Chain A
Amino acid sequence: GAVVSQHPSWVICKSGTSVKIECRSLDFQATTMFWYRQFPKQSLMLMATSNEGSKATYEQGVEKDKFLINHASLTLSTLTVTSAHPEDSSFYICSAGETGGAADTQYFGPGTRLTVL
């Protein structure tokens, strides 16, 4: 149980274009999903917290107009990188929070590697 998927697993795009990444909780409902960014050989940096049916909460220093997050259902959150530039190239990982009882754990997706040319 507690499987989270991400699509696509990798994407290459041209500078100035937008890229959408999907995060799905496959076997549980997640009222809260999280988006992280991981640079090579570094730890995860929380970008934003996504709550179903409401606006995402962005961490300090993360541009909300550049990284658009939508959490339209209890099993799907999307991250859109708008007007991507080479410095946006990174590994983006989502997680979904399973709550209640013995849960209260973030389960992570497999990640999406974005390369902006």
Chain B
Amino acid sequence: AQSVAQPEDQVNVAEGNPLTVKCTYSVSGNPYLFWYVQYPNRGLQFLLKYITGDNLVKGSYGFEAEFNKSQTSFHLKKPSALVSDSALYFCAVGPGGYNKLIFGAGTRLAVHP
């Protein structure tokens, strides 16, 4: 069965430190990969995506993600975390493109001053 795993329910990081939110997937073929962020009682905001090309993708708000085909991973990273980055982050995979996305369970990022 196709699936997306976000192994950490919560990630805690101090402001100014680098952050990583992990995502691995089990999907055949060459899926589209996405990261979205959700603030309380809000919809999802698109951060970045990988379809093809460079393995390192840069997105909104200073976030980037690295696609690793051999490890089937697409970890989200940011060099220096801000308190305002605290939110719920979802990894999503589209086996056939951008539609019919499979979402991970979400990882709550808490950035402490």
Partner-B contacts on A (CB < 8 A): 2, 4, 6, 32, 34, 42-44, 46, 49, 91, 93, 95, 97, 99, 104-111, 113
Contacts and interface: CB of A to CB of B under 8 A. Distances in A.
B20 to A, nearest CB: 20
A34 B36 contact: no
Nearest to A10: B41
B31 to A, nearest CB: 12
Contacts of A34: 99
Residue with the highest number of chain A CB atoms closer than 10 Å, among B41, B97, B105: B41
A61 to B, nearest CB: 15
Contact of A104 (B44, B51, B90, B100): B51
A43 B90 CA distance: 8
A6 B43 contact: yes
Nearest to A92: B43
Interface of B: 32, 34, 36, 41-46, 49, 51, 90, 97-101, 103-106
Given A34-B99, A43-B90, A108-B36, 19 more contacts: A4-B43, A42-B105, A44-B44, A46-B100, A46-B101, A91-B41, A95-B43, A95-B44, A97-B98, A99-B98, A104-B32, A104-B97, A105-B46, A105-B49, A106-B99, A106-B101, A108-B44, A108-B46, A111-B42
The interface residues of chain B, by DSSP majority, are classed as: loop
Nearest to B4: A43
Contacts of B104: 43
B86 to A, nearest CB: 16
A6 B41 CA distance: 13
Contact of A108 (B32, B43, B51, B106): B43
Residue with the highest number of chain A CB atoms closer than 10 Å, among B45, B49, B98: B98
Contacts of A6: 43
B98 A110 contact: no
Nearest to B102: A46
